[in-house]
Amino acid sequence: MSESRALDTSSPQESFSRLTSGPDTAPESSGASILLVDDKPELLNSLYQLITLHGYEADAALGGQAALDHLEQKDYDVVLLDLIMPGVSGHDVLEHAAAKKLSCKIIVVSGDSSFSGVKHALHCGAFDFVKKPYEAGELVATMETALKQCELESKNEVMEGKLKESEELHRFIVNSSPDLVYMLDRNGCFDFVNNRVESLLGFSKDELLGKHYSEIVDEDQLELARNVFNERRTGARAATNVELRLKSRLARRGPRLFQAQSVWMELTAMGIYSDDNERTRENFQGTYGTARDISERKEAQEVINFQAYHDLLTHLPNRALLKDRLSLAIAHARRNKRKLAVMFLDLDRFKLVNDTLGHSMGDRLLKAVANRLQSCLRRGDTLARYGGDEFTLLLPEVRTRDDVVVIAGKILDRLSGPFVIDGHELFVGASIGIALYPEAGETEEALIQNSDIAMYHVKTRGKNGYQFFSDEMNHRFSTRLSLERELRNGLAQGELSVFYQPQVSLETGSIVGVEALVRWQHPERGIVEPADFLPMAEETGLITQIDEHVQQVAFSDVASWRRNGLGDIRVSVNLSAPQLEQDDFVDRFIASLRGSGLDPEGVKLEITENILMQDMEVVVPKLRELRRLGLRIAIDDFGTGYSSLSYLQQFPINTLKIDRSFVGDIRADESDASIVNAIVAMARGLKLDLIAEGVENRTQLKYLRSQGCSEVQGYIFSRPVPADEVKALIADNPYGSLVAAKQPEAEPAL
């Protein structure tokens, strides 16, 4: 406590000087702020002594003007004020405090106890009145009452400030919420709705207040809204995350799967009761709820559901949706003892379009085909894209086979016309397999599988037709499945072996190479010819394993022959499309070659024209890489595919291999060898080597040599034989005399 606040023991004049020197400039204490005002120094000093003895700090003002100066400089909690003072009176101080709306509590301490004086003091805002001469206890008690009142008012002011801030914060949060927040009265009319309603639904708050909630609910959602939007339940039974649609005046941007004037909302709501323990009709006050915009999520779900059950190219149902509808159709047919039909359609000649004109053109053709097929449907039928160029048609109600025949004929007729895409006139047909319920199966799997089997039966008969499934077909299909299973086991058990057919030079008569060919030594069936299992291996993907097995064995055998002094024998190996299309094909092939120790110059790759034409952008770079590494490349079965001269110039090839079908046309009169002549001329023009396969007699041999063919292979020399036998043939070199004995008399004109 400072000296000016201590108990004054100095003379009255010294005390007067200290008391009237102005407000204390020392740091303000944490206690109450009190101002003492009187025009008589001795009374002011006495009052000061009384207040400080009770533990309070106070400022003293001698006279009314000094009091005004103190009030201008500092805020006080309590002012003890004398009324009768010269100059500026206590009444003037009261009027000043009232005019300035000062919050201090003014206690009048005065000898003027007249009614008019007291009335005027209280009228001017005095807190209380203490008559002089005062009793010390009464004065201190009155002052402390005023201080307590100040404290209560201060706390109340702080609380009101916090409440106001809290109210403003909550109002800001509610109005800034991304959700629609609302309250309904007991009649279902809006008592409150936040600002979100304007940006979300396009309704203003003012026009909704007092209106029934049905004003913003879609008509087909009113029954649901009656139970959840105007919720009366509370607790766990109240509405939570309920999805419903509300009306909107705002246009929705972009493509929408829903109505343009509605918004999907996720609603949470609960009832409000005056007594939460008595949830009766009488106590019901209304409903509080929030609604969140979930339109984008609903639309995303619709897109995901569509993608899950539809083909993205044609927008037709996919396998999953077809099986679901087929399951329902079977249940309906079983219950009503009706028939239904499943058609499995595979497009004919589509692969040719896809391979020659590209996948983009193929995709556009598939969409055009889907549109035509849809025009053949009856109400209730389902057309699905099963995969690739395969479609499945569900006919849920048919009376007889003739009904299905009519639809199949209509489909074939509709597909028979040309498809004109980007100036290309394209033709496709369809092979259609048909399975009838219940004759061809009683489950969705059986009906689809059996219609697929019937479709393959059409393919084997020449395509572009339809066929009903029969049990005989199922037997053949079971045989095919059994063969596939046995082939897989054969690969694992080492039943596949490599045979070699010699390739003979027509200049020297010596064996310069061998072609590696696969043979299957079945434990029960004996030798299975390649034509009996390779097509199935291509369909099932086993062909890649077979190719890699044959290549690895052939590389090792030929490398061993070379090391044992049999000369620079070359081995020709066949490549299938699945193997060539592997991303890591080149790396795998070279690794196998290097692992055997065979030089790349000792290997020739034989590839059919069809494989080259399937995907030139992928195939040609891989062949160029192999050619760069030293391997030779031949087009196998040349003349049976689609190669043109311009394409041949792009391919990194060394050799043309004349197909056995053209060699077989060579007769003694040479009248049917025109294709061979053309191939020979093409090879000469492109400076390519020429080899013929399928040579079976001396006439063919003589003619091919006369045309400048450098190498031949065929039964005239040897059938494909195991490694030991071809090794002996290479060592014996038995064909020199056969080739040398057939010199041409004259070089025929080309």
Residue 185: other Cβ atoms inside 10 A = 15
Burial of 355 (0-12, 13-18, 19+ CB in 10 A): middle
Q: Nearest-CA neighbor of 103 among 153, 46, 167?
A: 153
- Confidence band, pLDDT 50/70/90 cuts, at residue 335: very high
Query: Higher pLDDT residue, 165 or 530?
Result: 530
Angle of helix 585-596 versus helix 543-563 axis, rounded to 10:
30
Q: Note the CATH number of domain 177-302.
A: 3.30.450.20
- Confidence band, pLDDT 50/70/90 cuts, at residue 256: very low
- Please tell me the predicted confidence (pLDDT) of residue 591: 94
Q: Nearest-CA neighbor of 726 among 496, 495, 498?
A: 498
- Please tell me the predicted confidence (pLDDT) of residue 419: 92
Helices (H), 528-652: 530-540, 543-563, 577-580, 585-596, 609-614, 616-628, 645-650
- Confidence band, pLDDT 50/70/90 cuts, at residue 457: confident
- Where are the strands (E) in 94-150, listed by range? 105-110, 128-131
pLDDT at 745 over 70: no
- Structure confidence by residue, pLDDT tens digits, 73-131: 999 999 999 988 999 998 899 999 999 889 899 999 988 777 777 788 888 888 898 88
Q: Contact at 8 Å (CB) between 714 and 663?
A: yes
- Per domain, the residue ranges of the chain are 3-156, 177-302, 310-469, 494-740
- Please tell me the predicted confidence (pLDDT) of residue 739: 77
- Please tell me the predicted confidence (pLDDT) of residue 84: 87
Cα–Cα distances (Å) from 668 to 3, 166, 402, 665, in that order, read 146, 111, 55, 10
Q: Which region among 10-14, 225-229, 509-513, 668-672 has the lowest average model confidence (pLDDT)?
A: 10-14
- Please tell me the predicted confidence (pLDDT) of residue 676: 82
Average pLDDT, the chain: 85
pLDDT at 305 over 90: no
Section 729-744 average pLDDT:
73
CATH topology for 310-469 is Alpha-Beta Plaits (3.30.70)
- Please tell me the predicted confidence (pLDDT) of residue 339: 93
Give the tokens for residue 554: 């052939």
pLDDT at 662 over 60: yes
- Structure confidence by residue, pLDDT tens digits, 140-187: 999 999 999 888 888 888 888 888 887 777 777 777 788 899 999 999
Q: Note the CATH number of domain 3-156.
A: 3.40.50.2300
Section 710-730 average pLDDT:
93
Q: Cα–Cα distance between 690 and 713 in angstroms, integer?
A: 12
The side-by-side arrangement of strands in the sheet containing 128-131 is 58-62, 34-38, 78-81, 105-110, 128-131
- Structure confidence by residue, pLDDT tens digits, 352-383: 788 778 889 999 999 999 999 999 888 899 99
- Structure confidence by residue, pLDDT tens digits, 1-49: 333 333 344 444 454 455 545 444 333 444 789 999 999 999 999 999 9
Section 619-631 average pLDDT:
91
Q: Cα–Cα distance between 673 and 664 in angstroms, integer?
A: 9
pLDDT at 257 over 70: no
- Structure confidence by residue, pLDDT tens digits, 307-328: 888 998 999 999 999 999 999 9
- Please tell me the predicted confidence (pLDDT) of residue 60: 93
Q: Cα–Cα distance between 267 and 246 in angstroms, integer?
A: 11
Global pTM reads 0.47
CATH topology for 494-740 is TIM Barrel (3.20.20)
pLDDT at 449 over 80: yes
For a pLDDT cut of 70, what percent of the chain falls above it?
Answer: 90
- Please tell me the predicted confidence (pLDDT) of residue 538: 84
pLDDT at 420 over 70: yes
- Please tell me the predicted confidence (pLDDT) of residue 749: 30
pLDDT at 637 over 70: yes
Query: Higher pLDDT residue, 173 or 507?
Result: 507
- Please tell me the predicted confidence (pLDDT) of residue 614: 66
For a pLDDT cut of 90, what percent of the chain falls above it?
Answer: 44
Q: Which region among 452-466, 545-559, 636-650 has the lowest average model confidence (pLDDT)?
A: 636-650
- Please tell me the predicted confidence (pLDDT) of residue 684: 82
In sequence order, the β-bridge partners of residue 465 are: 431
pLDDT at 254 over 50: no
DSSP 8-state symbol, 427: -
- Please tell me the predicted confidence (pLDDT) of residue 255: 43
The side-by-side arrangement of strands in the sheet containing 390-398 is 382-387, 390-398, 339-348, 429-437, 465-468
Give the tokens for residue 624: 């160029």
pLDDT at 733 over 80: yes
Section 50-65 average pLDDT:
91
Residue where the block lists tokens 């890649």: 544
Q: Cα–Cα distance between 126 and 131 in angstroms, integer?
A: 14
3-class state of residue 470 by DSSP: coil
